[in-house]
């Protein structure tokens, strides 16, 4: 998955990426940097240092702002620090999210956490940057949704409801911001190798790539770079007539019925 293309679609562009120090967020931030963009990312405080190291290893030094997206004052601070550093914001990627998967055992606090760090934070960030983008003549926003926005999965009411809300925010924001030349789109990743899935697989990627790969037409898990490039497409002028859309980046997961890859039974307990 080496970096092969040499486009500079984001020369002179300023991008703010939430949760940009690990996984999909980091892959998106890296690709934006490779394509000439200036990037600011938010991060949980514990991940700031490892984030800096990863970017430095790649030859970059983006501003990383540490804090919690469920805190409205931190959302405002991340936008203000981007303005202080770069003067404006052209692109927003809402990526940071709480992976809290509970069902009837979810407490009210669990629900608040799921929604506050997810769709409420996404909407807050869109509202904050929209005012700036209006002044700047437009902009582009990508929300990281999920296959979990669209289908039921066992015992995941909190996460799937929160991701479902993201899909609706994408559509509603796209409608209301269209008059200002601000495009809003979503990307719905499927099973992707990130820290969360790596830990769930006990770091045995070969074994679980096959097991979880059975959920997708392509028969494997995806990699963060494979989500980053479609996200960059939607952020870029290549997608100038696309808004309110969601792009499934899931190896065919959503499109596939339960017959799957021709196996008569799938062990859903995995």
Distance CA 219, CA 200 (A): 19
Which residue numbers are catalytic? 159
Distance CA 148, CA 82 (A): 31
Give the chain's radius of gyration (CA, Å). Answer: 18
Distance CA 139, CA 145 (A): 19
Strand order of the β-sheet with 14-17 is 63-66, 38-43, 14-17, 91-94, 139-144, 182-189, 246-249
Backbone angles phi, psi at 247, to 5 degrees: -105, 120
Q: Check if the beta carbon of residue 12 is closer than 8 Å to that of residue 237.
A: no
Distance CA 128, CA 42 (A): 15
Distance CA 21, CA 42 (A): 8
Distance CA 134, CA 72 (A): 21
DSSP state of 232: H
Helix (H) or strand (E) holding 108: helix 108-115
Distance CA 88, CA 100 (A): 33
Residues 6+ apart with CB under 8 A from 258: 266
Give the closest residue to 19 by CA, choosing from 96, 78, 92.
96
């Amino acid at each position: 998955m080496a970096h092969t293309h040499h486009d500079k679609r984001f020369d002179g562009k300023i991008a703010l990426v939430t949760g940009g120090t690990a996984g999909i967020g980091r892959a998106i931030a890296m690709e934006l940097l490779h394509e000439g963009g200036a990037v600011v990312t938010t991060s949980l405080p514990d991940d700031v240092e490892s984030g800096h190291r990863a970017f430095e290893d790649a030859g970059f030094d983006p501003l990383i702002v540490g804090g919690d997206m469920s805190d409205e004052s931190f959302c405002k601070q991340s936008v203000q620090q981007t303005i202080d550093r770069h003067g404006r914001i052209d692109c927003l990627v809402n990526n940071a999210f709480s992976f809290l998967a509970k069902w009837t055992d979810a407490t009210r606090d669990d629900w608040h956490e799921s929604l506050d760090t997810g769709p409420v934070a996404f909407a807050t960030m869109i509202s904050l940057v929209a005012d700036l983008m209006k002044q700047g003549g437009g902009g582009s926003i990508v929300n990281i949704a999920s296959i979990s926005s669209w289908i039921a999965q066992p015992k995941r009411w909190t996460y799937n409801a929160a991701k479902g809300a993201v899909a609706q925010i994408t559509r509603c924001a796209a409608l209301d911001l269209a008059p200002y030349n601000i495009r809003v789109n979503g990307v719905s990743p499927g099973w992707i190798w990130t820290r969360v899935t790596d830990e769930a697989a006990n770091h045995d990627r070969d074994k679980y790539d096959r097991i979880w790969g059975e959920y997708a037409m392509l028969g494997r898990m995806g990699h963060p770079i494979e989500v980053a490039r479609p996200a960059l497409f939607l952020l870029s002028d290549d997608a100038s007539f696309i808004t309110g859309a969601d792009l499934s980046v899931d190896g065919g997961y959503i499109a596939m019925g339960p017959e799957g890859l021709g196996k008569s039974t799938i062990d859903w307990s995995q």
